[in-house]
Structure 1
Amino acid sequence: MSNIKVLFASAEAVPFIKTGGLADVTYSLPKALRKLGIDVRVILPKYSQIPEEFKEEMVTITDFPIEFKGQQEDCEILYLEYDEVPYYFVGNGYHFEQNSPYQVKGGSIYEFKDSEKFAFFNKAILETIRYIDFKPDIIHSNDWHTGMISVLLNQLYCHEKDYSNIKTIFTIHNLQYQGIFPKEILKGLFGLEIENIDIEKLEFYGDINFMKAGINYSDIVTTVSKTYSKEIQTPEYGEKLDGLLRKIGDRLYGILNGIDYDMYNPETDKDIYVQYSVDSIDKKLENKLKLQKELGLPERKDVPVISLISRLVNMKGIDILIKVLNEILSLDIQFVILGTGEPFYESILKEYEYKYPEKLSVNILFDNKLAKKIYAGSDIFLMPSLFEPCGLGQMIALRYGTLPIVRKTGGLNDTVKLYNVFTDEGNGFSFTNYDAYDMLYTIKRAVKFYNDKKVWNKLVKRAMERDYSWKNSAKEYEKVYKTIYN
């Protein structure tokens, strides 16, 4: 093991609890970093929804009281090793017993419950360091849920021996969600006197912003792709924090996420119909025929199957998709959609499925096994996002030899390169403007190349041969760790 010790703080992680891509990163990145010899350990809330099979394996290593909201609250720390990564879980019978890791929006009561829950979690992480046999050199916080760790460290803990040399890294996974709460919580939840703190670093239009706090108080700020790190410094993508992000300058790094190559491997994947590799891409066709059969579509070898696996919300480009869905379905294609989201979009897509039963399969659910079958069984993967900090779907699709059509934004721009017929470069198809007809034109272009099997098979092989694993990204994080550790 390297002598760098990192405590990786996150609100979610596969396979314990997942609402989005943060959970995938929290599982995969520490695993990749440990392979480089860095002693990374993950700390999470012990939610009531964590599957019993994992709870039964957890071992309580310590418990202690935390002063919170003017009273003593119990905190239990449990330990579990999973896939060779050590995990600590913060247990508390009140804060982590709700039905969902995050409260739905719709009133200050819900927002305040989230502020309480994650305030307790942030404080518990720092208190845990007193009681466990692991003194981190770096705390790596992720998204707004852990944004106050660096503030507490700076204001309340830094003068103590166990904390005085701890450095902090804060990763922005999605700037849209910032954790904005009334400023009274500074005293009420964190015990911070407003007059003793630089309120400018936390204040956001009269409230307190956990994301802004994490950005201002951490030694280094990273985000999940190079393009997104530039985009969030503009008013269009900066979510009212673009001025701050421009100001921190060279403290901001863009490091592209990867995907877990053990989890997503068509050669060994037991969830797909037929395993295949870059040397046996003909077997991908068998996956297509079986997918068509399972979803009730005509079993046709010659038709390109386009897939979309996504939350059905505006951010993912569903509005521009619906605008030209009639035109898309008038092409000689089949279209498979998997995901859940806004009821408005769900019902419209189901109406289209009723209208085009031979061409469209709409599956309103989230099913990871079905998702993998779709990645393996489709030819083209559509990801027309309005913005996309990194995106994992396009990388998984490439891994399975399914060529992406993406909008050039965030991590999509960093991973999918437009196929150029003249230079024979590229691994997919892309469009620049957030425009339904630009997307439609790009889909038609991809379908045209699908019918040129010589070109198409070459692109499929190219997609499968490139490395989208965490290996390269983990090395970038290692460099950043060493920058502030040394």
Structure 2
Amino acid sequence: MKVLFAASEAVPFAKTGGLADVIGSLPKELVKQGLDVRVILPKYEDIPAQFTQQMETVASFTLQMGWRQLYCGILKLVHEGITFYFVDNEMYYRRRGCYGYGDDAERFAFFCRAVLDALPHIDFIPDVIHCHDWQTGMIPVLYRAHFSWQPQYEHIKTVMTIHNLKYQGVFGKEQFKDYFALGDEHLGGYALELFGGASFMKGGLLYSDIITTVSPTYAEEIQTPYFGEYLDGLLRSQQHRLYGIVNGIDYEEFDPMTDPRLEVNYRDSVVKKQQNKMKLQERLGLPVNKDIPLIALVTRLVDQKGLSLVDRVIEDLLSLEAQWVILGTGDHRYEQLFRWAADRYPDKLSANITFNEPLARQIYASSDLFLMPSEFEPCGIGQLIAMRYRSIPIVRETGGLKDTVASFDESTGEGTGFSFTHYNAHDMLYTVQRAVNLYNDPEAWKTIWSNIKKKDFSWRKSAQQYAALYNNL
């Protein structure tokens, strides 16, 4: 079976969030299961030279977008056994970063059109086009409107995956008419219309054959007004073709036994994990003490990640017998909050307001506890990496956090972390206190470690679920 992943980012070429990790790792697991999976991305300026130098141009053609005649180049690179195609047009993609430009509607309209136009040129007509997030949401719409009746395209099925429903690609209706050559029948309330404009994401949800999202709980949550971002009614009406499949992580990429960024490699050794902790404490200027619990936050510093809860009780959190290490960038107010805390409590908290992948790995390897108090979390990848590195997660029970972390129960000895239900600062504080207290109970701690050891958060099971969905299609 031939599957083409269409996405706006993928590790190691371009990354702004968890989407890139999924697109970089899921195809490898699907290929192991016998599928022919390839990936198509925009060719951004920021893609490292070590990759662009290896790319070969496999096609160039003129693309019709509305009234425009535009150059489109397709480059190809095989990386870790996966064929990646890159859509090239310097007017749209020769600039820093992936998103945030005034012409993003036009840039990703071009990308959606290019994916479908490129297929005969790259000699790969897939059975399934798997679209990811709003940037590719118009592919199913264009397919239905302009391509499905052409003989070489007519067997293709489309899958739309929601990685985060909050981002919907809403732009003016006139732009949609202009870029996609769509009539008014596609722009009404039962089609693309949203908030008076039109939405890439809504198009993908309505016109694809199957909708998936990145955890079973998130699939339920987005059918409710609180999490549904004004699309809950649509999603309830489509629940017969909506599936939640939890994300995995790449077990080769995230492996404390072989990770070159760690001071000391380990698998299940408390002693070696503590050696990493002491090296990190020394490096960050915290008091070196192997016996004090180190709590980590590696995250984007934004409201979604539950940081308003941390803000509310930060003095209480810092009065606990624990150290804190923060890594991330984001909203100014949270960056300032952690800078202030590091100034006020230099022996308790280290604030690293930056994006630094090697340091992130060292923090996963060194921390005893990993805090993710998210307001909502479609899947979350931090808690999976944390458990792989034997850092025990403290999470709010939402989305994928609820599906992947089971709260520890002293009476039965079951559970892989700590969790709280309500989006409430004192519930979080109580849960962190409980975790810190149990850190000082070696038997309980050993039990949680051995529970985590039995879990498999690789892509294997999830890839089997995707393969089954493709087969059903």
The TM-score range, normalised by the shorter chain, is: over 0.9
- Deviation readout 1:247-291 (Å, 9 max, x if unpaired): 00220000000011011111111111100012x332111011111
Q: 2:290, 2:113 → 1: CA distance?
A: 57
- Deviation readout 1:427-471 (Å, 9 max, x if unpaired): 100000001100000001001110001110221232233110001
Deviation at 1:195? Answer: 4.1
Gaps of 5+ in 1: 105-109
Q: What residue is the counterpart of 2:139 in the other structure?
A: 149
Tell me the TM-score normalised to structure 1 length: 0.96
Q: What residue is the counterpart of 1:6 in the other structure?
A: 3
AA at the equivalent of 1:179: G
Q: Would the aligned equivalents of 2:56 and 2:77 in 1 still touch at CA under 8 Å? A: yes
Deviation at 1:197? Answer: 6.5
Partner SS state of residue 79, structure 1? strand
Deviation at 1:348? Answer: 1.6
Gaps of 5+ in 2: none
Deviation at 1:74? Answer: 0.6
Q: What residue is the counterpart of 2:273 in the other structure?
A: 284
Matched, 1:28 2:59: no
> Which of 154, 159, 184 lines up with 1:169 in the alignment?
159
Kindly report which structure 2 residues correspond to 1:178-197, keeping only aligned pairs within 5 A, or say none: 178-195=168-185
Q: Would the aligned equivalents of 1:406 and 1:412 in 2 still touch at CA under 8 Å? A: yes
Q: What residue is the counterpart of 2:106 in the other structure?
A: 116
Q: 2:58, 2:363 → 1: CA distance?
A: 42
Q: 1:196, 1:39 → 2: CA distance?
A: 33
Q: What residue is the counterpart of 1:205 in the other structure?
A: 195
Matched, 1:440 2:429: yes
Q: What residue is the counterpart of 2:393 in the other structure?
A: 404
Percent identity over the alignment is 51
Q: Would the aligned equivalents of 2:377 and 2:400 in 1 still touch at CA under 8 Å? A: yes
Inter-CA distance 196–344: structure 2 relative to 1 (3 Å threshold): closer
Matched, 1:52 2:49: yes
Q: What residue is the counterpart of 1:107 in the other structure?
A: none
AA at the equivalent of 1:29: L
State the 4+ residue runs in structure 1 displaced beyond 3 angstroms.
195-199
Partner SS state of residue 248, structure 2? coil
Kindly report which structure 2 residues correspond to 1:179-258, keeping only aligned pairs within 5 A, or say none: 179-195=169-185, 200-258=190-248
Q: Would the aligned equivalents of 2:414 and 2:451 in 1 still touch at CA under 8 Å? A: no
Partner SS state of residue 6, structure 1? strand
Partner SS state of residue 406, structure 1? strand
AA at the equivalent of 1:473: S
> Which of 317, 327, 335 lines up with 1:338 in the alignment?
327
Deviation at 1:205? Answer: 2.4
Partner SS state of residue 277, structure 1? coil
Partner SS state of residue 185, structure 1? helix
AA at the equivalent of 2:133: D
AA at the equivalent of 2:454: E
> Which of 439, 452, 477 lines up with 2:466 in the alignment?
477
Q: Would the aligned equivalents of 2:187 and 2:198 in 1 still touch at CA under 8 Å? A: no
Q: What residue is the counterpart of 1:16 in the other structure?
A: 13
Deviation at 1:199? Answer: 5.6
Q: 2:303, 2:68 → 1: CA distance?
A: 43
- Deviation readout 1:284-325 (Å, 9 max, x if unpaired): 110111110111100001100000000111100111101111
AA at the equivalent of 2:68: Q
Q: 2:221, 2:461 → 1: CA distance?
A: 22
Q: Would the aligned equivalents of 1:186 and 1:194 in 2 still touch at CA under 8 Å? A: no
AA at the equivalent of 2:25: S
- Deviation readout 1:364-405 (Å, 9 max, x if unpaired): 001111001000001000000000000000000001111000
Q: 1:116, 1:332 → 2: CA distance?
A: 53
RMSD value over aligned CA atoms?
A: 1.0
AA at the equivalent of 1:364: I
Q: What residue is the counterpart of 1:93 in the other structure?
A: 90
Deviation at 1:69? Answer: 3.7
Q: Would the aligned equivalents of 2:219 and 2:243 in 1 still touch at CA under 8 Å? A: yes
Matched, 1:79 2:76: yes
Partner SS state of residue 284, structure 1? helix
Partner SS state of residue 95, structure 1? helix
- Deviation readout 1:41-67 (Å, 9 max, x if unpaired): 000000111111110000001100001
Q: 2:375, 2:195 → 1: CA distance?
A: 26
Paired residue total: 473
Q: 1:157, 1:67 → 2: CA distance?
A: 13
Matched, 1:389 2:378: yes
Q: Would the aligned equivalents of 2:317 and 2:429 in 1 still touch at CA under 8 Å? A: yes
Q: 2:65, 2:427 → 1: CA distance?
A: 54
Partner SS state of residue 53, structure 1? helix
Q: 2:134, 2:121 → 1: CA distance?
A: 25
Q: Would the aligned equivalents of 1:186 and 1:193 in 2 still touch at CA under 8 Å? A: no
Deviation at 1:97? Answer: 1.5
